[in-house]
A = this chain, B = another copy of it.
Amino acid sequence: MKRGITKRDEDFSRWYTDVIAGARLADYSPVKGCMVIRPSGYALWEKMQFNLDRMFKETGHENAYFPLLIPESFLEKEAEHVEGFAPECAVVTHGGGKELEEPLIIRPTSETIIWSMYKKWIMSYRDLPLLINQWCNVLRWEMRTRLFLRTTEFLWQEGHTAHATEAEAEEETLRMLDIYRTFAQDYAAIPVIAGKKSEREKFAGAVHTYTIEALMQDGKALQAGTSHNLGQNFAKAFDVTFQDQRGEQQFVYATSWGMSTRMIGALIMTHGDDQGLVLPPRLAPLAVVFIPIFKGKEGHGEIIDYIEQIAASLDKDYNYRVDAREEYTPGWKFNEWERAGVPIRIEVGPRDLQRDEVVVVRRDTGEKFSLPKNGLKEKVSGLLEEIQNSLYERALRFREEHTVRVDDYQTFKEIVAERGGFLFAYWCGDPECEDQVKQETMASIRCIPLRAEGEDGACVRCGKSSRDRVYFAKAY
C-alpha cells in the first residue's frame, strides 16, 4: 500500500487501478476475469444497494431470488437473446460427479428463467402488474477485463416486471430509467444523459433500451444503467398469457432494468483525483474520520474523549470513525484516508482542545480551516451537503466542457481522437452509417436524447437529412 498513485494525465488507466489498490476497493482473483470486492469496495456497494433498494420498494417492487443455473434450451427460446448472450456463457456440464443430460448455463441475465416462472404465476389481469427485482451475481465470459468495469462475474440488480398493456410497460421502463438518473445524480453525484439506445446498441431481446450515460475524466463515456422495454418478446417465447377483463387471452408485456457494480467504476473515474478516491458523502461508507494529533505521551485520553463527544453529537445520517491507532503517525493516517476518499477529515490536537475548536479538511478541495466545537453538528452536515453538490457541479462542468456540437466529419474525427467527450451530432438513423463511424473513429452512439430538438440537419457521416442529433463518444 506504500506505493504512490500514477497521475491521471500521465496514464489514466494505471491511475484507475492505482486508486482501486490505494483505497483497497478490489483485488484480482486467481480466477481469470473475476475480481474480489474487498471490504471498502463492498461497503460502497452496500450504500448503493441500500438507496436503490429503497427507491425500488417505494415504487412498489418486491425482491425475490431465481436460480443461478438456466437450462441451455431456455436461452434459445428468444432468437435475439440467444444470439447476444450465448457467446458469453459459462456452461456447467457436470454435477454430482455425472455428466448432465442438458448443459446448464450460469445466468448472464435472468429473463428466460424468470419468464418460465411467470408462466406459472400469471393467469389473470388480477395478477398484473408483477413488479419483481433480484439482487444477485451474473456471469458473462469476457476476454479483456478491468476491475468493476468489465469482469466475468459481477454483482447487480435486475428488475423484471410484467404488465397488461404496452403503455404500462413503457411507463415502467421510463420510471426505472428515472430512478437510475436520480440515483446517479443525487447520490453518486454523477451527471448523466438519459436517452434511447440505437437498434445496434439495444439489449438482445428488447423492443428498445433506455440508458443513462456518464462522462469519465478521460473523455470516455460509460453506460451506468439501462432499462428495457421487452414488449411481448419474452411472453411469446415462454407462452405467458393472461385473461383480460373481457375474458380474452393476451400476451403479457415485459420490462427489465439493471444497475451493477460497474457504478463503482463510474464513481472512481468521475470524482477521483491524483491523491486517490473521492467519495460523494451520500454514498461514502464513512463520511468523517477524526484523527487525534498527540503531542508527547500525555493527554491522549483527553483528546480522545473530546473527539468522541463530538462524534456522538453529529447527524446520525452519516457514519463517523475515530482513528485512534497509536502505531501510525497522523501523516500516515492523513494519506490513508485521503486515498480512501473520506469526504471530511477532522484533526484535533491539544491546542484545538484548549480553544474549543477542531481543524477540518475537505477531501474534494483540500481546504483546511478551524471551526468552533459549538454548532459543529450543523456545520458538518452543511459541509457534507456542500461537498455532495460541489462534486456534482464539478462533474457537470467537466461534461459541459467536453460536449461539442459538431457538424462536419473531419472535426468529429479530430475531437474523438484528441480530447474525447460527447459529440452531439446529426445521424440519419441508418445502422450502416453508425457502424462506419464506429469503425473509423471508435466512437459509438451512446444515446438518442429523449426529447429531440426539432431541428433537422445533415448526418455527420453521410450528409443525408436527419431528424435528431445524437450523442456519440468512445465508451467503456
Contacts and interface: CB of A to CB of B under 8 A. Distances in A.
B113 A30 contact: yes
Given A29-B117, A31-B71, A136-B137, A36 B94 contact: no
A350 to B, nearest CB: 27
A378 B177 CA distance: 42
Interface string A7-40: 0000000000000000000010111001111110
A6 interface: no
Interface string A292-330: 000000000000000000000000000000000001000
Contact of A67 (B31, B74, B87): B31
Nearest to A93: B93
A126 interface: yes
Nearest to A120: B27
A67 B327 contact: no
A45 to B, nearest CB: 8
A233 to B, nearest CB: 19
A95 interface: yes
Contact of A34 (B34, B67, B141, B143): B67
A442 interface: no
A117 B27 contact: yes
Given A36-B65, A132-B39, A95 B104 contact: no
B66 A29 contact: yes
A42 B27 contact: no
Contacts of A74: 30
Contacts of A122: none
A63 B88 contact: no
Interface string A48-79: 00000000000000111111111100100000
A95 B87 contact: no
Interface residues of A, number: 58
A116 interface: yes
B153 A69 contact: yes
A68 to B, nearest CB: 5
A97 interface: yes
A416 interface: no
B67 A36 contact: yes
Contacts of A92: 90-93, 106
A43 interface: yes
A139 interface: yes
B36 A63 contact: no
A91 B90 contact: no
A106 B34 CA distance: 13
A139 B68 contact: yes
Interface of A: 27, 29-31, 34-39, 41-43, 45-46, 62-71, 74, 86-97, 103-104, 106, 113, 116-117, 120-121, 126, 132, 136-137, 139, 141-143, 152-153, 155, 327
Given A35-B67, A45-B65, A67-B153, 16 more contacts: A31-B69, A34-B68, A36-B64, A36-B117, A37-B65, A38-B64, A39-B64, A42-B64, A43-B63, A68-B106, A68-B153, A69-B153, A90-B96, A92-B92, A93-B93, A137-B137
6 contacts: A27-B117, A29-B66, A34-B69, A36-B66, A68-B137, A87-B97
